[in-house]
């Protein structure tokens, strides 16, 4: 009963976070089990020694990663919202998991500070890339490319409607094509559409990471 109560509380914290920091959260509802499966059911993730999650949220995807990951994997979960990571770390206990409170743009500082000595094998991202300010989006992408091993994979989802329209309190209406954004950064992209999710989403599995695009990165 206590676990169920905590899940309901975590849901409402995520929902409230959507209102409080919409550009950061980009969602009102946690990922469905179908979306979680699409993000975590990968051979590379099951074989990975080092896994990085971006955007812990309520820990829904974190749990999926833990189910798939090997027993000796090191898993780092980064979340900028202090209330969300506090909630997730209270309900999820696993010796493989390190919680990191901070921005994904600062990976090169945060990961070594938490014991990650080398490149990571898999990055699973739930960040709302379509609503991030362009300069922050680029900074995060550059940090990921510098952090990811040459053989590594990057898994990112985006809501399908973002290609037609997104809305930001700061920047108003816009469009964001995640495939067009990721294509120059990776040699191989594969897309899976997840209809049973609120709202429907597309999962991009990206391989063959390239050098960061930002000048001076």
Residue 107's pLDDT band (cuts 50, 70, 90): very high
pLDDT reported for residue 214: 73
pLDDT reported for residue 198: 87
Spell out the long-range contacts of 97-101 with Cβ–Cβ below 8 A and sequence spacing 24 or more: 97/62, 97/66, 98/74, 99/56, 100/76
What average pLDDT does this structure show over 73-79? 98
> Between 107 and 176, where is the model more confident?
107
Rounded CA separation 133/210 (Å): 22
Q: Is-cis flag, bond preceding 199, omega within 30?
A: yes
Q: How far apart are the first and last CA of the chain?
A: 49
pLDDT per position as a tens digit, 35-75: 999 999 999 999 999 999 999 999 999 999 999 999 999 99
């Amino acid at each position: 009963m206590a676990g169920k109560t905590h899940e309901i509380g975590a849901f409402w914290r995520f929902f409230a976070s959507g209102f409080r920091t919409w550009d950061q959260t980009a969602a009102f509802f946690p990922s469905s089990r179908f979306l979680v499966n699409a993000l975590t059911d990968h051979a590379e993730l099951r074989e990975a020694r080092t896994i990085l999650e971006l955007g812990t949220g309520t820990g829904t995807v974190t749990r999926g990663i833990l189910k798939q990951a090997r027993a000796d994997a090191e898993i780092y979960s980064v979340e900028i919202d202090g209330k969300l990571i506090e909630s997730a770390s209270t309900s999820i206990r696993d010796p493989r998991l390190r919680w990191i409170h901070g921005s994904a743009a600062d990976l090169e500082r945060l990961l070594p500070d938490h014991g990650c000595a080398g490149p990571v094998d898999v990055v699973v991202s739930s960040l709302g890339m379509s609503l991030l300010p362009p300069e922050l989006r680029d900074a995060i992408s550059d940090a990921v490319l510098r952090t990811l091993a040459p053989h590594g994979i990057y898994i990112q989802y985006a809501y399908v409607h973002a290609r037609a329209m997104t809305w930001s309190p700061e920047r108003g209406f816009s469009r964001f094509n995640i495939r067009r954004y990721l294509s120059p950064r990776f040699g191989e992209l594969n897309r899976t559409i997840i209809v049973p999710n609120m709202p429907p989403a597309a999962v991009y599995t990206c391989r063959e990471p390239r050098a960061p695009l930002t000048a001076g990165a």
